[in-house]
């Protein structure tokens, strides 16, 4: 219920490209709200994609992700993701930096806290730093679709670097963290922290490990645990480095940024960056497909147009799997195809 | 790769119903692993559903869910969910109790910790308490399908009460917590804890609130916050009560159990229990449908049978939403139907 007419997505894009932050904020609100306007925004961003490099920062609540992200903003502003200092090494030579703080469902970290940190550290006076927290409840396809849409908008309006901070808890949240060019997994010193990260599915998505709060006891043991687990994992050509940081003082964060820059260069050298992005796009496409089918099924359920299946289901005469196969057959899909492949 | 032949699901069910815990564990492993055996187990459980009453316990990491669950086991064993003491009020008059500790992706709480607590409090010597932690990565449909499947197995083998403990962080995890007959949301005293729970989507799923660690400062403020938020919410006939507990000492947990018993009685009185279960089953059915479609699409992608859509998508000539609509049309579904309905 807007109190004034909302400009069309085209005009908003044009304005956002010229640096209009209010227009950008509106675009992102449209994108995260879902529905037809969201689709129009996504389509526009898709046809003029830009070339942002995306860095995911994830880990358990309290691991220090926000403080670390704050430090990375400074480094991104200084050198950019190519790692090349400006001629005079001045702040800002790296170009603008955008941050998506994704945490719609967790009470921890997320936009508010990061916002506070950033306010403290003075980034808000820097108009080339744009920070946005994501609230995506209600978006068709959830986080897995809403976050790539928002990243694409930020890329399309000209940000060369987008940092995506997520809490590494919950199935979708971990997937979102993994859907970036470089994924940084943050752990802390302490008994079993690396093992917990493994349990949470974070080890398999990491391009880089950070042991943050490395001035606390147990950093060496955590490094050993991570190295052991890497030994036990089948790695590709890239072996995830382990960087120690103390985000609160800034110790080690330059090494972390250097490792990000190196990971990017490695992917460009081997041509794997294009391949990874390609696979991510296919996965995202799959999510959108599934979301669309879900919409379709919900509309059928609302209309009561498959009572023949739901009735027997509710009466206990059909199990839900059998009911699903029958409904899909009614929708015109052969459920047998591939359904027996397991997994 | 079993080292010995695995009995068929029918025999396992028969044995599990006779109290064979090893057979039950195997059934649950089959159920959570996904694939055709999982389906066979689900179908068997569905046709002989039993009559378990399910209680969800959810909240932020560290809220004290496991300690609280441990206390609820004791009360469930003593009086059952009907609240009727045994003739002599002896422990065990309430019948057996099963617990699912769902936390596949979080480093917090979950099976191991609950297991420890339970071991301490001596429940492991009680063969009528069955505790299982869920690891569902890889299950088709994820937690939203795997947990109802597991609950149905526990119900089918004769547990009258199933407690489902989940961390209230992450989209799917919150949905799982909501998919129980009575959903208990645990918060702690402290500034903003209720507001954080609201942000996490926990307020709208709560049938009961627990302020645990209520001996700490701020319990009164947290209660006031919860009451205020309830005022602002459109409630049905049931107004979620707020119970204060100190799970570590046991204070208040009998009131909590009484509130659970009361919520169950309320639902039976109004006939809403059947209606709620019906809606949950429809939702679950929707999840299974979507998971099936996902399988089908993945098999198409593996076969490269929709290159006509993915090619243009990867070349930037089609946006993913447009590509999805075209592929669905190719699958025989009219994507226009209901797709414009937004949300």
Touching A: B residues 64-123, CB under 8 Å: 104-108
In a mutational test of the A interface, the residue from B62, B107, B149 whose CB has the highest number of chain A CBs within 10 Å is B107
- The rounded distance, in Å, linking the Cα atoms of B237 and B240 is 10
CA A24 to chain centre: 18
In a mutational test of the B interface, the residue from A62, A288, A289 whose CB has the highest number of chain B CBs within 10 Å is A289
**pLDDT tens digits along A37-55:** 888 898 889 888 888 999 9
What would the two tokens of residue A27 be? Answer: 């675009």
Please indicate whether, in this complex, the C-beta atoms of A46 and B193 are within 8 angstroms of each other. Answer: no
Chain A interface includes B40 (CB < 8 A)? no
pLDDT of residue A268: 94
Residues of B in contact with A296 (CB under 8 A): 328, 333, 335, 337-339
pLDDT of residue B113: 45
Chain B interface includes A304 (CB < 8 A)? no
Please indicate whether, in this complex, the C-beta atoms of B341 and A286 are within 8 angstroms of each other. Answer: no
Q: Which residue of chain A has the CA closest to B176?
A: A170
Using CB atoms, pick whichever of A43, A138, A314 lies closest to residue B319. A43
Q: Which residue of chain B has the CA closest to A203?
A: B105
- Reported ipTM: the value is 0.70
- Residue of B27, B21, B24, B22 whose CA lies nearest to B43: B27
Residue the block writes with tokens 């921890």? A108
Please indicate whether, in this complex, the C-beta atoms of B328 and A293 are within 8 angstroms of each other. Answer: yes
- Residue of A60, A250, A284, A52 whose CA lies nearest to A165: A60
Q: Is the pLDDT of residue A132 over 80?
A: yes
Percent of chain A with pLDDT over 90: 35
Using CB atoms, pick whichever of B105, B197, B297 lies closest to residue A107. B197
In a mutational test of the A interface, the residue from B289, B324, B341 whose CB has the highest number of chain A CBs within 10 Å is B289
Residue the block writes with tokens 């195997």? B26
- Reduce the DSSP state of residue B334 to 3 states and report it: coil
Averaged pLDDT for residues A222-244: 89
Chain B interface includes A323 (CB < 8 A)? yes
**pLDDT tens digits along A182-204:** 999 999 998 777 877 777 778 88
Q: Which residue of chain A has the CA closest to B140?
A: A343
pLDDT of residue A118: 54
- Residue of A177, A185, A125, A128 whose CA lies nearest to A154: A128
Residue the block writes with tokens 């701020």? B218
What would the two tokens of residue B123 be? Answer: 């429940």
Q: Is the pLDDT of residue A310 over 80?
A: no
Q: Which residue has the higher pLDDT, A161 or A286?
A: A161
Selected from 3.40.109.10, 1.10.10.10, 3.40.50.150, 3.40.50.300, the CATH number assigned to the domain covering B47-270 reads: 3.40.50.300
Instruction: Give the minimum alpha-carbon distance from B73 to chain A in angstroms, rounded to a whole number.
Output: 26
Which CATH architecture group holds A48-270? 3-Layer(aba) Sandwich (3.40)
**pLDDT tens digits along B158-202:** 999 999 998 776 667 777 878 899 999 999 998 777 877 777 778
- The rounded distance, in Å, linking the Cα atoms of B218 and B189 is 5
pLDDT of residue B50: 87
Chain A interface includes B332 (CB < 8 A)? yes
Chain A interface includes B49 (CB < 8 A)? yes
Q: Is the pLDDT of residue A240 over 70?
A: yes
Residue the block writes with tokens 């940024």? A257
Residues of A in contact with B138 (CB under 8 A): 343
Q: Is the pLDDT of residue A104 over 60?
A: no
- The rounded distance, in Å, linking the Cα atoms of B109 and B93 is 29
Q: Is the pLDDT of residue A72 over 80?
A: yes
- The rounded distance, in Å, linking the Cα atoms of A306 and A276 is 40
Q: Which residue of chain A has the CA closest to B274?
A: A314
pLDDT of residue B106: 41
Please indicate whether, in this complex, the C-beta atoms of B332 and A327 are within 8 angstroms of each other. Answer: no
Q: Is the pLDDT of residue A336 over 60?
A: no
Chain A interface includes B138 (CB < 8 A)? yes
Instruction: Give the minimum alpha-carbon distance from B290 to chain A in angstroms, rounded to a whole number.
Output: 6
- The rounded distance, in Å, linking the Cα atoms of B146 and A222 is 33
Q: Which residue has the higher pLDDT, A342 or B207?
A: B207
**Ranges of each domain in chain B:** 47-270, 285-339
- Reduce the DSSP state of residue B186 to 3 states and report it: strand
Residues of B in contact with A282 (CB under 8 A): 301, 310, 313-314
- Residue of B223, B232, B170, B171 whose CA lies nearest to B193: B223
Using CB atoms, pick whichever of A140, A142, A286 lies closest to residue B343. A140
pLDDT of residue A135: 61
Residues of A in contact with B166 (CB under 8 A): none
Residues of A in contact with B36 (CB under 8 A): 340, 342
Chain B interface includes A325 (CB < 8 A)? yes
In a mutational test of the A interface, the residue from B155, B321, B336 whose CB has the highest number of chain A CBs within 10 Å is B321
- The rounded distance, in Å, linking the Cα atoms of B136 and B58 is 18
Using CB atoms, pick whichever of A47, A170, A343 lies closest to residue B35. A343
Please indicate whether, in this complex, the C-beta atoms of A324 and B171 are within 8 angstroms of each other. Answer: no
Sign for the CA dihedral angle at A103, A107, A112, A116 comes to negative
Counting as low any pLDDT under 70, the low residues of chain B are 1-6, 84-92, 103-122, 124, 135-141, 169-171, 301, 304-308, 330-343
What would the two tokens of residue B104 be? Answer: 């596949």
Q: Which residue of chain A has the CA closest to B107?
A: A196
Residues of A in contact with B65 (CB under 8 A): none
CB pairs under 8 A between A and B: 228
Chain A interface includes B61 (CB < 8 A)? yes
What phi and psi, each to the nearest 5 degrees, are found at residue A167? -75, 125
Q: Which residue of chain B has the CA closest to A171?
A: B105
CA distances from B133 to A201, A277, A302, B336 (A): 16, 35, 35, 42
């Amino acid at each position: 219920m807007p109190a004034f007419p909302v400009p069309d997505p085209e005009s908003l894009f044009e304005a956002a490209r010229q640096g209009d932050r209010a227009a950008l904020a509106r675009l992102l609100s449209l994108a995260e709200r879902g529905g037809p306007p969201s689709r129009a925004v996504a389509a526009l961003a898709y046809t003029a994609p830009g070339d942002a490099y995306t860095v995911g920062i994830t880990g358990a609540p309290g691991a220090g992700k926000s403080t670390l992200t704050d430090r990375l903003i400074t480094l991104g502003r200084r050198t950019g993701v190519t790692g090349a200092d400006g001629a005079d090494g001045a702040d800002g030579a790296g170009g603008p930096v955008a941050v998506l703080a994704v945490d719609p469902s967790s009470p921890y970290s997320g936009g508010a806290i990061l916002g506070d940190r950033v306010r403290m550290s003075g980034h808000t006076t820097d108009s080339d730093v744009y920070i946005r927290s994501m609230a995506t409840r209600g978006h068709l396809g959830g986080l897995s679709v809403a976050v790539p849409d928002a990243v694409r908008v930020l890329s399309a309006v000209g940000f060369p670097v987008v940092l995506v901070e997520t809490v590494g808890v919950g199935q979708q949240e971990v997937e979102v963290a993994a859907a970036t060019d470089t994924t940084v997994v943050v752990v802390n010193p302490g008994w079993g922290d690396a093992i917990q990260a493994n349990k949470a599915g974070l080890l398999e998505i990491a391009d880089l490990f950070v042991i943050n709060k490395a001035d606390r006891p147990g950093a060496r043991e955590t490094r050993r645990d991570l190295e052991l687990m890497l030994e036990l994992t089948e790695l590709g050509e890239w072996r995830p480095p382990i960087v120690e940081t103390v985000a609160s003082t800034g110790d080690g964060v330059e090494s972390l940024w250097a490792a990000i820059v190196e990971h990017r260069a490695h992917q460009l050298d081997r041509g794997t960056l294009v391949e990874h992005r390609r696979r991510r796009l296919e996965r995202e496409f799959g999510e959108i497909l599934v979301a669309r089918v879900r919409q379709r099924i919900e509309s059928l359920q609302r209309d009561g147009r498959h009572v023949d299946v739901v009735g027997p289901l509710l009466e206990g005469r059909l199990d839900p799997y059998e009911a699903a196969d029958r409904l899909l057959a009614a929708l015109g899909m052969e459920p047998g195809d591939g359904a027996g492949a397991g997994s």
